[in-house]
Amino acid sequence: MEESYKKLVDSKSKSLLKKHLTKKIFDKLKTKTTPTFNSTLMHCISSGLCNHDSGVGLYAPDAEAYKVFADLFDPVIEEYHKGFKKTDKQPKPCFGQGKDFENLDPDGNFIVSTRVRCGRAVKGFPFNPCLRERDYLELESKLCKALMTLTCEHKGIYMPLTGMDEAVQKQLIDDHFLFKQGDRFLAAAGASRFWPTGRGIFLNEPKDFMVWCNEEDHIRIIAMEKGGDLGRVYNRMVAGVEALGKEIEFSRDERLGYLTFCPTNLGTSIRASVHIKLPNLMDQPEELQKLAKEYRLQIRGTSGEHSEAEDGVHDISNQRRIGLTEYEIIKEMHDGIKGLIEAECKAKAA
């Protein structure tokens, strides 16, 4: 570990891990372990040590890691989530009403599709690097049981990755329903062990609501559809989360909110995104980045993070997930996308 750490220090990596894992903190944390699952600093930082192109480079092997290794997690969380300090606390869940958010693109000129997701951990289980094969199976069976209780628009089927037809899997990935396999950031974090055991996807009949099992988080709950009706997509996700929350106890921390494997997803764990075409703004990348920063939005490629934009379609989402309620997170994203569309119209007219 000492050697890989030295390599990171000497590298040109721009990761938050490199920035915040000073020698002093490294020496302080390198011999610590979490009380219940005995996870170590190495578990937390292995992804960033292997992948110098990480934006963050840090994961929590279990819930206790956020406390035991707080000297590293806290400054990373503060910087990623734009100012969520050590002394700050995630507010109580407050979902509000999707109907408050008007359709962002009623004429269908810019937004290809809208997606809202959140992550959940099942209370009592650690995260990926500490999960045994039988834990993955137990998590899957708990989730399946809960999924079978879903009714009406959420009703659907669970498809395990094990034994899934290759063509079916490829189609699900191409349709942006299913996660990709072989993410090197996750693999280096110890999140691909026993793959594909215990992994799978639940899909409702209209294919606008899905639940991922044991990818990065124990549970990912997702709603999506074509167009820009953010309120409707949000409501569908919230109703799904609430229904599953009646069956499964989610892991939540007083201060950090819903606990997730990656510190970028703590708090509400909500990522609301649009696939959007802004051809004139895209021609002024500096202006676009400046606006994104102002609105606290993150710009990714078409096939999710670490991907490129295809046909000028970008994936734009809220960057912060913690320190605000669910409702405020969606509002921040909604108002930011609205602002970008206004700027696009101005850029076109100019």
| Residues 134, 139: Cα–Cα separation, whole Å | 9
C-alpha span between 192 and 196 (Å, rounded): 8
* Contact residue for ligand ARG among 84, 185, 202, 327 (CB under 6 A): 185
User: Among residues 239, 195, 226, which one has the least CA distance to residue 213?
Assistant: 195
Stretch that binds ligand ARG, among 120-128, 200-208, 247-255, 260-268 (CB under 6 A): 260-268
Contact (CB, 8 A) for 171 and 127 = no
Q: Which member of 236, 271, 320, 321 is catalytic?
A: 271
> What one-character-per-residue DSSP string does 263-327 give?
GGG-BT--EEEEEEE-HHHHT-HHHHHHHHHHTTEEEEBTTBTT---BTTEEEEEES--SSS-HH
Determine the Cα–Cα distance for residues 204 and 155; give it in Å rounded to an integer: 5
Is 305 part of the annotated catalytic residue set? yes
| Minimum distance from residue 182 beta carbon to ligand ARG (Å) | 14
Q: Distances in Å between the alpha carbon of 220 and those of 177, 217, 260, 297? A: 12, 6, 10, 21
Q: Which of 216, 326, 332, 344 is catalytic?
A: 216
Return the residue of 214, 235, 264, 319 that touches ligand ARG, per CB under 6 A: 264
117 annotated ligand binder: yes
CB of 343 to ligand ARG, least distance (A): 26
CA distance 104 to 39: 44
Q: Which of 174, 305, 310, 342 binds ligand ARG (CB under 6 A)?
A: 305
Catalytic residue among 78, 117, 325, 344: 117
By beta-carbon proximity to ligand ARG, the closer residue of 39 and 47 is 47
Q: Is 104 in the site for ligand ARG (CB under 6 A)?
A: no
Residue 296 known to bind ligand: no
Q: 271 labelled as ligand-binding? A: yes
Q: Specify the residue for token string 């069956």.
A: 247
Neighbours of 88 (CB within 10 A): 16
Per CB under 6 A, the segment of 123-131, 138-146, 257-265, 272-280 that binds ligand ARG is 257-265
30-49 positions binding ligand ARG, by CB under 6 A: 47
Shortest spacing between CB 20 and ligand ARG, in angstroms: 13
Hey, which residues between 52 and 81 contact ligand ARG (CB under 6 A)? 54-57
Residues binding ligand ARG (CB under 6 A)? 47, 54-57, 185, 216, 262, 264-265, 305
